[in-house]
Structure 1
Amino acid sequence: MNIKSSINSFLTIILSCVFYLMMTSTIKAQVYQQTAQKSDFWQHVRFGGGLGLNFGNNFTNINVAPSAVYQVNEYFAAGIGLSGSYVKQKNYYDSYIYGASIITLFNPLPEIQLSAELEQLRVNNTYTQFNPHIEDDFWNTALFLGAGYRVENFTIGVRYNVLFKESNNVYSEAFLPFVRIYF
């Protein structure tokens, strides 16, 4: 092996090491830059939900239902919701209902909103007009398909529970009106 080939080999090794160090530092800088940038995930999340209060002659109904959706694009959003309610008719019954739901929203036109919502509720009813009291505890699953008229963040419409059972004592009808607001 002569001196010239040894120098060429040495320079090749040095240049390879320099190239390797430059590439790894460039890749590390890019990874750092990507992780340093803020994710735009939260810019696509919209929050909303419902709040219901109803008081009458020996009757109380309180409902809280927060939800959040991720706006994938101008046509489609998907998200989750929680629901909790307390209903009492004095000397007749007490009801505690709580659960969660998964919702998808589709806007084929800006004014039209179609929705599908799968809801799972735990229902705890106590009928106090009987002695001893009768307790009726069960899970209720609902699948709502809905359509509504939308103006910006506000939608009003009707939804249909395709799994409706009158015997479950959760919803009185399969068709239910809704008002939906997401900010």
Structure 2
Amino acid sequence: MRHIHHLLLLVALLTSSVAFGQITEDPEERRDQGQTPLKSQTPTGEPLPIKERIRFGGGISALQFNPFSIGVSPVVAYQVSEHFVAGLGVGYTYSNLKNYYGYNLNQYSGRVFGMYEILPALIPNIYAHVELDQRSYSLTSLLVTPNIPTTGLSTATWLGVTYSQPIGRLFSANLSALYNVSYSSSTTDQILYGTSPFTIRILFF
């Protein structure tokens, strides 16, 4: 009987050790310990698989009513490390500028961006944000017939900060305040980016 008790005790200890090993391999289990779940690695330092580090999302951009404008911006991001996120995005924006410039505007954009958490120990979830945005546009006059569109390309470099409020381990609401360092006071830039080089953006990814 004593041998059976010893055997049962050994099995229990081994089972507990295996369970503990599984817990420490799962970043989400850190939440039960009052810690933030890891984003790019296991608690033992092993990198997470690529599929567990990819983030999908996007949002509605350029929404305004006078003049009317609305856009959509899908995003794919990758958690490179615990504090660095890189991503790609595309977008489409429609604007009716009849009362301002006499045009309808269609924009198709592509961008790459990087976000680095600046001081995670002191101010968590605040990221330095760098972004390269290239867009093609088509301006169609509403005042001239025939309505032959004017097309072109424009590139903007955005610098700023993003506050990223986690919703899950790999999903956040991201509020960005960005400055277009390529902005000029030309009519084209004012039509494409607005009358200010600053922009506020909310995206979910």
User: Fold-level match, TM-score > 0.5?
Assistant: yes
Contact 2:60 2:203 in 1 (8 A): no
Deviation at 1:181, TM superposition (A): 1.8
Runs of 4 or more consecutive aligned structure 1 residues displaced over 4 Å after TM superposition = 52-57, 131-134
The residue that corresponds to 1:171 in the other structure is 193
**Match for residue 137 of structure 1 among 148, 151, 154:** 151
> Per the alignment, in what secondary structure is the counterpart of residue 183 of structure 2?
coil
Deviation at 1:98, TM superposition (A): 0.1
Is 1:156 the equivalent of 2:175? yes
**Match for residue 102 of structure 1 among 89, 109, 112:** 112
The residue that corresponds to 1:69 in the other structure is 77
Counterpart residue type for residue 134 of structure 2: Q
The residue that corresponds to 1:50 in the other structure is 59
CA distance in 2, matches of 1:174, 1:116: 15
Contact 1:87 1:96 in 2 (8 A): yes
Counterpart residue type for residue 98 of structure 1: Y
Distance 1:142 1:52, change over 3 A: closer
CA distance in 2, matches of 1:156, 1:95: 26
Identical columns (%): 29
Counterpart residue type for residue 144 of structure 1: W
CA distance in 2, matches of 1:111, 1:56: 32
> Per the alignment, in what secondary structure is the counterpart of residue 170 of structure 1?
helix
CA distance in 1, matches of 2:65, 2:197: 25
CA distance in 1, matches of 2:159, 2:74: 19
Contact 1:45 1:70 in 2 (8 A): yes
Per-residue Cα deviation, 1:26-83 (whole angstroms, up to 9, x for no partner): xxxxxxxxxxxxx9211100112122485758x6433111011110111001111001
Distance 1:148 1:52, change over 3 A: closer
Contact 1:113 1:155 in 2 (8 A): no
CA distance in 2, matches of 1:171, 1:104: 21
Q: Which sections of structure 2, spanning at least 5 residues, go unmatched?
A: 1-47, 167-171
The residue that corresponds to 2:88 in the other structure is 80
Query: RMSD in angstroms over aligned alpha carbons?
Result: 2.3
> Per the alignment, in what secondary structure is the counterpart of residue 74 of structure 2?
strand
- The normalised TM-score by structure 2 is 0.62
Deviation at 1:87, TM superposition (A): 1.5
> Per the alignment, in what secondary structure is the counterpart of residue 159 of structure 1?
strand
Structure whose CA Rg is larger: 1
- The normalised TM-score by structure 1 is 0.69
Counterpart residue type for residue 170 of structure 1: L
Contact 1:67 1:79 in 2 (8 A): yes
Is 1:93 the equivalent of 2:103? yes
